[in-house]
A and B are shown apart, each in its own frame.
Chain A
Amino acid sequence: MVDINLAVKDPASDGGPDETSIEQRETIGLSQGQIVRKRFFRHHGAVISIVVLAFVILLAYSSVGLHVWGLTTQGWWPWHWRETPPLVNRGIPTLNLIPGPGFGIGPHPFGQDVVGHDIFALVMRGAQQSLMIMVLVGSVGTMAGVVVGSLAGFYRGWTDSLLMRFTDVIITIPFIVIGAVIGRATGNLGAAILGLMLGLFAWMGLARLVRGEFLSLREREFVDAARVSGASDTRIIFKHILPNAVGVIIVSATLLMAGAILGETALSFLGFGVKSPDTSLGLIVAENQSAFATRPWLFWWPGLFIIVIALSVNFIGDGLRDAFDPRQKKMPSPRALARAAVRARERAAD
């Protein structure tokens, strides 16, 4: 371990801690990845969100099993989402978390709809499909955005003009509008195709950001250094510029995903997304909105899962932004500054 007190001046000695020295003290001797990880794990909201999201994903995929492209696994949940077991207690949710008689999850914790479909199984299947579309839109959109943005930003000139005018054209169409048209055309082909197609129209914002990042990074000295030492364009893009733009890309990819899940559920709600007999969280809400007065649970559970997924992805995005972009990092609270000062003093005393 390096003696870090040699490297930075002691904040306790000059009348109190200041922000930069704490920042330096915390990051000295760490790699970029370690710094980012450390900063990310300090964001409590983001850490909790990761745990929650992992739990939701695990629950959704283990309970009713995988059913993707002919690949089928058995889940631990007794009902299939298309099964219609007889109604238990008029379909009211059997979940009871109040200790006492009837405590436990019961046969249909989220209740049943009017024909007897188990809502838990339906919501789990809906969550699977919504999550898959979210990831597909996020990854396809990010990939397309990075390709367009980096080509435009790196080569400039007519490549840039052409790609950016094309971006201008697509960005003129609101996502929900182009999504509805795409969904109308491809919704029958299954959720995966829908996700891929939606992703092809979700890259514009990211492309503009990446282009801006490339335009400024390509003028930096380390790129010149690589160029004079004979590096090819591909090498410069992949080894020198992209790693430096990764923060912007990851953060906007996360926010893109949060937007994608809301977009997908809205499209399914309008009838332009995932179609019956398959299901998604938005479709469950749409199918049951008229039953709200009599069977509100048909409505609560899918909505709750949409919010939990979108909220946790948004929080993860916020945590990543804080981690990658220390410029926007919030000032440590007075209490944290005081604690850091105490730590520094202790270390100086050692």
Chain B
Amino acid sequence: MVPAPITRSSQIGWSPPLMASFVTRRLIAAVFVLLAATFLMYLLVAYSGDPLKELRESNAPNKLQLMESLTKRLNLDVPPFFRYFIWLGGIAQCFVGQCDFGVNVQGLPVAVLLQQAMGSTLQLVTSAQLIAIIVGLAVGITTALRQYSGYDYAITFASFLFFSLPIFWVAVLLKQYIAIGFNDWLADPNIGAAVLVVLSIVSGLVWMSVLGGTNRKRLTTLVVATVSTGALLTYFNLTAWFSTPSVGIVGLVLTALAAALGVTAISVGLKNKHALRGALVTAAVGIALYYPMTWYIFRYMTMPLFLLLAVLTVVVGGAIGHVLGGRDRWQSARTSAIVAVIVSAVIALDGHLLYWNDYVNSTRINGRPIATFGSATPNLGGNFWVQGLDTFTHLLLPTLAIILISFAGLTRYTRSSMLEVMNQDYIRTARAKGLTQRTVVVRHALRNALIPIATIIALDIGALIGGAVITEFVFGWSGMGQLFQKGLVAVDPNPVMAFFVVTGLLIVIFNLVADLLYASLDPRIRVS
């Protein structure tokens, strides 16, 4: 028997019509996959228990009547195999703009419940994932660049440990130590001398191992980082910063300058004077706007205004960079836009901190800001900034729990992907050409290393939502995970299915996005 010849697409690269047909075919396949998956899920949920069990065992006088009405409401007299199609008929109405997810055991429409739940879950998952991506990428890249250093081994071990942590266990620990511990500490916020020394030395060691270099450079880093951390913490102690936190104009100037220099150094290199000038001017504009913003605009802040200002920030920053950009305008526009975002984030942080005392001392909070339960303080009131603080304190712990788990995978992927690229011949060529370390790492290596990571992030969405179910359960977060968990306990298929329709849809869409990302980012991959 002759082996079948390996077929190769004769098409080189991808063309728009080919792409369109690929997407269409994948979308049609996705619809069938979703239909089959929902059918399977529906049967499994329907047969997982008896929804009438609780009523059957109750002693209510109108028991039979209650059972009958529940049977009628949930169509329990129809076998699950056919009941699925009744449910599907309701979902199909989404195409005419009138989604019907059915009712739950209590008779509430699931569509309304889902709408409320989706917002809070998406908030939790996106904020956690964004931070995890930023931190995970940064740590992954630095460990790859410092392969087999103490830092690399420490992070490798830590990510293995995080991989093996049960998220529900971590969540309970976070509640105990971060929330209750921090709230207790806040009653008399002062860092003790011993803790201060230990924190400074740890910070020095971390900076030393991240930056690396010769022994002399390491020693300098260690001393500088230790002393400056110690000085900063002592300053915080002396000025009672922890009870009246703020960034202030000094903090803003320092962070803005650091952002301008740092972002330029990483993205285009400090040798690019045009970009550096753009970044510095952007930072200066941000600093100049600090007082006008704080005095005149902050008290009228609303969500739409905030979003408008955020967009303006990016546009203005980009424009400054573009005007001052010299020959490579878009590069410096990008740099300035990032600087603008960082500077305005610091100003927004200061806006929140202005109201920190109001928030902490309000009657609903009572000096214990870090929340362990729910997604918002009921009846808190207050303006935009107080509400923002409230969201933040509720997001903090569940976000930390999710980050710890996602971080482990992301650093491992980034590290191995980065190492794989760094060992390739074209990197050696780039070095041989005499390019700087920054150019080699950022331009040549990182861009290619990011391709598999982008697809992995897109594919991980299922695990992320699975993790969110547990996190929501521990933190009493009334999101989609609760909808699922409570629905399943009550053998109530409609809320469970509503949860699954959303997650299944997300997973299928992100699978497609992952494929498209891969095809468009990597010219070697062809869609067929």
Please give the residue numbers on chain A whose beta carbons come within 8 Å of chain B beta carbons, in ascending order: 165, 168-170, 172-178, 180-182, 184-185, 219, 224, 227-228, 258, 262, 265-266, 269-272, 282, 285-286, 289, 292-293, 296, 299, 303, 306-307, 310-311, 314-315, 318, 328, 330, 333
Give chain A residues whose Cβ lies under 8 Å from the Cβ of B20. Answer: none
Is B520 an interface residue, CB under 8 A from the partner?
no
> Whose C-beta in chain A lies nearest to the C-beta of B2?
A224
The reply to whether A174 and B463 contact each other, CB–CB distance below 8 Å, is: yes
Stretch at the interface among B86-94, B307-315, B437-445, B483-491: B483-491
B341-385 contacts to A, CB under 8 A, are none
The reply to whether A270 and B473 contact each other, CB–CB distance below 8 Å, is: yes
Count chain A CB atoms within 10 A of each CB in B29, B47, B148 and give the residue with the most.
Answer: B148
How far is A333 from B148 in the complex, measured between Cα atoms in Å?
8
The reply to whether B164 and A181 contact each other, CB–CB distance below 8 Å, is: no
Give chain B residues whose Cβ lies under 8 Å from the Cβ of A175. Answer: 463, 466
How far is A184 from B462 in the complex, measured between Cα atoms in Å?
20
Give chain A residues whose Cβ lies under 8 Å from the Cβ of B134. Answer: none
The count of chain B contact residues (Cβ–Cβ below 8 Å) is: 52
Give chain B residues whose Cβ lies under 8 Å from the Cβ of A292. Answer: 172, 175-176
Report the minimum CB–CB distance from A7 to chain B (whole Å).
27
Partner of B160, one of A181, A303, A315: A315
Interface of chain B, helix or strand or loop or mixed?
helix
> Whose C-beta in chain A lies nearest to the C-beta of B491?
A184
Partner of A299, one of B165, B172, B485: B172
Give chain A residues whose Cβ lies under 8 Å from the Cβ of B176. Answer: 292-293, 296
The reply to whether B489 and A177 contact each other, CB–CB distance below 8 Å, is: no
The reply to whether B44 and A176 contact each other, CB–CB distance below 8 Å, is: no
The reply to whether A219 and B164 contact each other, CB–CB distance below 8 Å, is: no
Question: Given A176-B470, A177-B466, is A266 in contact with B172 using a C-beta cutoff of 8 Å?
Answer: no
The reply to whether B168 and A307 contact each other, CB–CB distance below 8 Å, is: no
Please give the residue numbers on chain B whose beta carbons come within 8 Å of chain A beta carbons, in ascending order: 1, 3, 6, 29, 32-34, 36-37, 40-41, 44-45, 47-49, 148, 160-161, 163-169, 172, 175-176, 180, 416, 462-463, 465-467, 469-470, 473-474, 484-485, 488-489, 491, 496, 499-500, 503-504, 507-508
Partner of B164, one of A258, A266, A272: A258
Partner of B1, one of A185, A228, A258, A333: A228
Partner of A184, one of B48, B180, B470, B500: B48
Count chain A CB atoms within 10 A of each CB in B160, B467, B473 and give the residue with the most.
Answer: B160
The reply to whether A181 and B469 contact each other, CB–CB distance below 8 Å, is: no
> Whose C-beta in chain A lies nearest to the C-beta of B474?
A289
Known: A177-B484, A292-B172, A307-B165. 4 other contacts (CB 8 A): A169-B36, A169-B37, A228-B1, A289-B172
Give chain B residues whose Cβ lies under 8 Å from the Cβ of A271. Answer: 489
Nearest 7 CB-CB pairings of A with B: A310-B164, A176-B466, A185-B48, A174-B466, A311-B164, A303-B169, A184-B48
The reply to whether B164 and A314 contact each other, CB–CB distance below 8 Å, is: yes
The reply to whether A270 and B485 contact each other, CB–CB distance below 8 Å, is: yes
> Whose C-beta in chain A lies nearest to the C-beta of B469?
A176
**Contact sample, A vs B, 8 pairs, CB 8 Å cutoff:** A174-B503, A180-B485, A181-B41, A181-B44, A184-B491, A292-B176, A307-B165, A311-B164
The reply to whether A184 and B3 contact each other, CB–CB distance below 8 Å, is: no
How far is A149 from B506 in the complex, measured between Cα atoms in Å?
26
How far is A269 from B47 in the complex, measured between Cα atoms in Å?
22
The reply to whether A177 and B148 contact each other, CB–CB distance below 8 Å, is: no
Question: Given A172-B33, A185-B49, A299-B172, is A328 in contact with B416 using a C-beta cutoff of 8 Å?
Answer: yes
Give chain B residues whose Cβ lies under 8 Å from the Cβ of A176. Answer: 466-467, 469-470
Give chain B residues whose Cβ lies under 8 Å from the Cβ of A181. Answer: 41, 44-45, 48, 488, 496
Give chain A residues whose Cβ lies under 8 Å from the Cβ of B508. Answer: 172
> Whose C-beta in chain B lies nearest to the C-beta of A313?
B164
The reply to whether A262 and B33 contact each other, CB–CB distance below 8 Å, is: no
> Whose C-beta in chain A lies nearest to the C-beta of B1?
A227
Report the minimum CB–CB distance from A270 to chain B (whole Å).
6
The reply to whether A282 and B166 contact each other, CB–CB distance below 8 Å, is: yes
Report the minimum CB–CB distance from B478 to chain A (whole Å).
16
How far is A307 from B507 in the complex, measured between Cα atoms in Å?
29
Give chain B residues whose Cβ lies under 8 Å from the Cβ of A219. Answer: 3, 6
Count chain B CB atoms within 10 A of each CB in A180, A224, A272, A286 and give the residue with the most.
Answer: A180
How far is A168 from B175 in the complex, measured between Cα atoms in Å?
38
How far is A185 from B44 in the complex, measured between Cα atoms in Å?
8
How far is A306 from B473 in the complex, measured between Cα atoms in Å?
19
Give chain B residues whose Cβ lies under 8 Å from the Cβ of A303. Answer: 166, 169
Question: Given A172-B508, A174-B466, A177-B469, is A269 in contact with B168 using a C-beta cutoff of 8 Å?
Answer: yes
Give chain A residues whose Cβ lies under 8 Å from the Cβ of B484. Answer: 177, 180
Report the minimum CB–CB distance from B410 to chain A (whole Å).
16
Give chain A residues whose Cβ lies under 8 Å from the Cβ of B470. Answer: 176, 266, 269-270
> Whose C-beta in chain A lies nearest to the C-beta of B473?
A270
Give chain B residues whose Cβ lies under 8 Å from the Cβ of A314. Answer: 160, 163-164
Give chain B residues whose Cβ lies under 8 Å from the Cβ of A265. Answer: 166, 168
Give chain A residues whose Cβ lies under 8 Å from the Cβ of B168. Answer: 265-266, 269-270, 282, 285-286
Give chain B residues whose Cβ lies under 8 Å from the Cβ of A318. Answer: 160
How far is A218 from B167 in the complex, measured between Cα atoms in Å?
41
